[in-house]
């Protein structure tokens, strides 16, 4: 076996979710050897009840038949345009028709005129993160990213790949990132010689913090971003997985200021996770090295073509089918797609919150949890210093109770842990999105999972024998 020398490479730490995935088979065996049922409160996966593809495949085939009829081919051996396009090299921007219908429907939902020339296909929202980091890191100068503490593990994992990149994190309260600290971190990074391109956040259904930013806080952060001349990269996987009344939903950043925002859409939560369909959209401009002003989308397209020159046109055309109704007309709103999913997630969320309140609500000095208005997660806090949610605690939770949950400590960037070495070490991320059962069995399993977790919490804090 060859031993290649790569002295400048550094082995990066494995994310908390990856560690849990790797250790789960062993822990599952231990739990099952004790006769324990495994309770899924860790995975952030879309529920199988809402990702059954059979109805979609039938609709997609009907839509493709419709396209063939519209094309009016008389020769039965002729290759339809949609089929040729789906399996050929194409534009890095992907099929024009997909972008057109997406811009029409998504733009109508958020009252914004989307320019399809600035709509860049990505491999899910993760592809958008990679694209923006790659663009910022291309000059090779020290770069600082502003993000929340805690923040999405996929973002910290991507940043860790660049040795001249560093995170400057911002603590949060119940409304979002703290404005004064937000500005202070931008200034601190610049004082230390870093270029600060953007602030990355998940403002709706924050992963992992389990809440949504208030409208007032969004406006405050946006004003600071304008004043300091940085972009807001808005990761929006849970924008439609929203439980708040429509009148109470805050506006996404890109609907407030598309010229200051890079918006990352993914179809994984309201469509299907496997095809990894996503889009990056921004109306921002950049001043580059020669003093020329260019569209950020133009720079992102160049960056994208160096990574994935040809997007997956078949996946994009499939997503296009999803955006059409049974009469093959564009749907009026993506909320129609979301509602098919929300029924399951709304029920699961209600079970989570009602059981937590029923079992632990009388002990506010011991426990607290977030009430998510969007997304898949609630953050549970042990308010007694004797509980430490480290790796051994998580393993014990599985081995002794069969409960799988994700510890919060690894979602905190390094500088947040330097500010507070105990950051996240009294918290768990509880997921209410996934189980292996459907219908009434899903409801029973979800209630049983939360009840078992609550019993474990009571026993671990000495409130119950």
pLDDT of residue 272: 83
* Residue 347 and residue 297 share a domain: no
Q: How far apart are CA 338 and CA 343, in angstroms?
A: 9
- State both tokens at 259: 């010229």
* Residue 349 and residue 302 share a domain: no
Last residue of a domain, one of 322, 349, 380: 322
How much of the chain exceeds pLDDT 70, in percent?
A: 94
What's the full length of the chain, in residues?
465
State the CATH number of the domain containing residue 241: 3.40.640.10
Cross-strand pairs, 39: 403
Q: What average pLDDT does this structure show over 223-243?
A: 97
Q: Which domain holds residue 246?
A: 81-322
Contact 83, 311 (CB under 8 A): no
* Residue 302 and residue 353 share a domain: no
Q: Quick one: residue 202, left, alpha or beta (phi over 0 = left, psi -120 to 50 = alpha)?
A: beta
Q: What angle do CA 361, 364, 366 make, to 5 degrees?
A: 110
Q: How far apart are CA 330 and CA 320, in angstroms?
A: 9
* Residue 101 and residue 181 share a domain: yes
**35 within domain boundaries:** yes
More reliable by pLDDT, 71 or 207: 207
* Residue 281 and residue 410 share a domain: no
Q: How far apart are CA 263 and CA 233, in angstroms?
A: 6
Give the chain's mean pLDDT.
91
**55 within domain boundaries:** no
**229 within domain boundaries:** yes
Q: How far apart are CA 293 and CA 185, in angstroms?
A: 27
Contact 63, 321 (CB under 8 A): yes
Q: How far apart are CA 130 and CA 159, in angstroms?
A: 9
Q: How confident is the model at residue 384 (pLDDT cuts 50, 70, 90)?
A: confident
3-state secondary structure of 87: coil
Q: How far apart are CA 117 and CA 96, in angstroms?
A: 9
Q: How far apart are CA 210 and CA 212, in angstroms?
A: 7
**128 within domain boundaries:** yes
**59 within domain boundaries:** no
**121 within domain boundaries:** yes
Q: How far apart are CA 112 and CA 132, in angstroms?
A: 22
How much of the chain exceeds pLDDT 90, in percent?
A: 72
At residue 6, does pLDDT exceed 50?
no
Contact 183, 196 (CB under 8 A): no
Mean pLDDT check: name the lowest of 52-66, 148-162, 211-225, 299-313: 299-313
3-state secondary structure of 455: helix
Contact 369, 454 (CB under 8 A): no
At residue 88, does pLDDT exceed 90?
no
How many domains are contained in the chain? 2
Contacts of 41 (CB under 8 A, 6+ apart): 403, 404, 405, 430, 431, 432, 449, 450, 453
Q: What are 417-460's pLDDT values in tens digits?
A: 999 999 999 999 999 998 888 999 999 999 999 999 999 999 99
Q: How far apart are CA 154 and CA 129, in angstroms?
A: 9
* Residue 318 and residue 342 share a domain: no
The stretches of 53-150 forming alpha helices (DSSP H) are: 54-71, 81-86, 96-110, 124-137
pLDDT of residue 147: 98
**62 within domain boundaries:** no
State the CATH number of the domain containing residue 42: 3.90.1150.10
Q: How confident is the model at residue 8 (pLDDT cuts 50, 70, 90)?
A: low
* Residue 286 and residue 151 share a domain: yes
In the sheet with 231-235, reading across from the earlier edge strand, the strands are: 119-123, 277-281, 261-266, 231-235, 198-201, 143-149, 165-173, 176-177
* Residue 139 and residue 276 share a domain: yes
At residue 11, does pLDDT exceed 80?
no
Burial of 421 (0-12, 13-18, 19+ CB in 10 A): exposed
Contacts of 349 (CB under 8 A, 6+ apart): 243, 372, 432
Mean pLDDT check: name the lowest of 71-75, 162-166, 287-291, 298-302: 71-75
Q: How far apart are CA 13 and CA 15, in angstroms?
A: 6
Q: What are 284-322's pLDDT values in tens digits?
A: 999 888 888 999 999 999 988 877 777 788 899 999 999
3-state secondary structure of 101: helix
pLDDT of residue 12: 56
Half-sphere exposure of 368 (CA within 13 A, CB side): 8
Task: Provide the pairing of β-strand 165-173 with 231-235.
Answer: unpaired
More reliable by pLDDT, 234 or 80: 234
Kindly report the pTM of this predicted structure.
Answer: 0.93
pLDDT of residue 45: 85
Q: What are 125-138's pLDDT values in tens digits?
A: 999 999 999 999 99
Q: What are 248-297's pLDDT values in tens digits?
A: 999 999 999 999 999 999 999 988 888 889 999 999 999 888 888 999 99
* Residue 367 and residue 232 share a domain: no
Contact 129, 262 (CB under 8 A): no
pLDDT of residue 101: 97
* Residue 353 and residue 224 share a domain: no
Angstrom CA distances, 394 to 116, 387, 402, 424, stand at 46, 11, 10, 13
Q: How confident is the model at residue 18 (pLDDT cuts 50, 70, 90)?
A: low
Last residue of a domain, one of 276, 296, 322: 322
* Residue 409 and residue 382 share a domain: yes
* Residue 349 and residue 438 share a domain: yes
**316 within domain boundaries:** yes
Q: How far apart are CA 350 and CA 172, in angstroms?
A: 25
Last residue of a domain, one of 322, 350, 381: 322
């Amino acid at each position: 076996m060859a031993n290649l020398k790569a002295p400048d490479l550094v082995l990066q730490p494995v994310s908390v979710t990856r560690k849990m995935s790797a250790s789960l088979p062993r822990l599952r065996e231990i739990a099952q050897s004790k006769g324990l049922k495994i309770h899924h409160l860790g995975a952030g996966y879309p529920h199988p009840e809402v990702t059954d593809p059979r109805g979609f495949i039938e609709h997609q085939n009907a839509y493709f038949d419709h396209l063939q009829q519209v094309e009016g081919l008389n020769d039965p051996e002729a290759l339809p345009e949609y089929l040729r396009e789906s399996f050929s090299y194409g534009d890095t921007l992907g099929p024009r028709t997909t972008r057109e219908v997406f811009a029409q429907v998504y733009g109508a939902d958020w009252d914004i005129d989307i320019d399809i020339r600035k709509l860049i296909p990505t491999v899910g929202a993760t592809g958008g993160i990679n694209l923006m980091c790659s663009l910022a890191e291309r000059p090779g100068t020290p770069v600082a990213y502003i993000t929340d503490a805690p923040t999405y593990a996929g973002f910290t994992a991507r940043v860790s790949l660049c040795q001249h990149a560093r995170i400057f994190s911002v603590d949060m309260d119940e409304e979002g990132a703290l404005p004064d600290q937000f500005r202070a971190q931008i200034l601190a990074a610049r004082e230390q010689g870093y270029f600060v391109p953007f602030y990355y956040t998940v403002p709706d259904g924050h992963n992992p913090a389990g809440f949504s930013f208030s409208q007032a806080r969004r406006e405050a952060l946006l004003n600071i971003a304008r004043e300091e001349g940085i972009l807001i990269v808005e990761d929006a996987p849970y924008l439609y997985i929203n439980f708040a009344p429509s009148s109470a939903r805050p506006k996404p950043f890109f609907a407030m200021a598309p010229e200051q925002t890079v918006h990352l859409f993914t179809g994984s939560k309201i469509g299907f996770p496997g095809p990894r369909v996503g889009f990056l959209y921004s109306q921002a401009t950049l001043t580059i090295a020669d003093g020329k002003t260019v569209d950020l989308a133009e720079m992102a397209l160049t960056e994208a073509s160096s990574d994935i020159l040809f997007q997956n046109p078949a996946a994009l055309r499939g997503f296009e089918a999803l955006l059409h109704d049974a009469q093959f007309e564009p749907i009026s709103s993506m909320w129609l797609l979301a509602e098919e999913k929300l029924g399951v997630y709304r029920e699961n969320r209600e079970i989570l919150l009602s059981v937590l309140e029923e079992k632990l609500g009388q002990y506010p000095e011991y426990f607290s949890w977030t009430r998510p208005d969007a997304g898949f997660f609630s953050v549970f806090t042990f308010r007694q210093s004797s509980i430490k949610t480290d790796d051994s605690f998580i393993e014990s939770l599985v081995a002794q109770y069969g409960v799988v949950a994700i510890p919060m400590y690894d979602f905190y960037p390094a500088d947040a842990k330097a500010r507070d070495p105990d950051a996240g070490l009294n918290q768990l991320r509880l997921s209410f999105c996934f189980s292996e059962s459907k219908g009434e069995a899903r409801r029973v399993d979800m209630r049983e999972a939360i009840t078992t977790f609550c019993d474990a919490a009571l026993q671990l804090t000495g409130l119950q024998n």
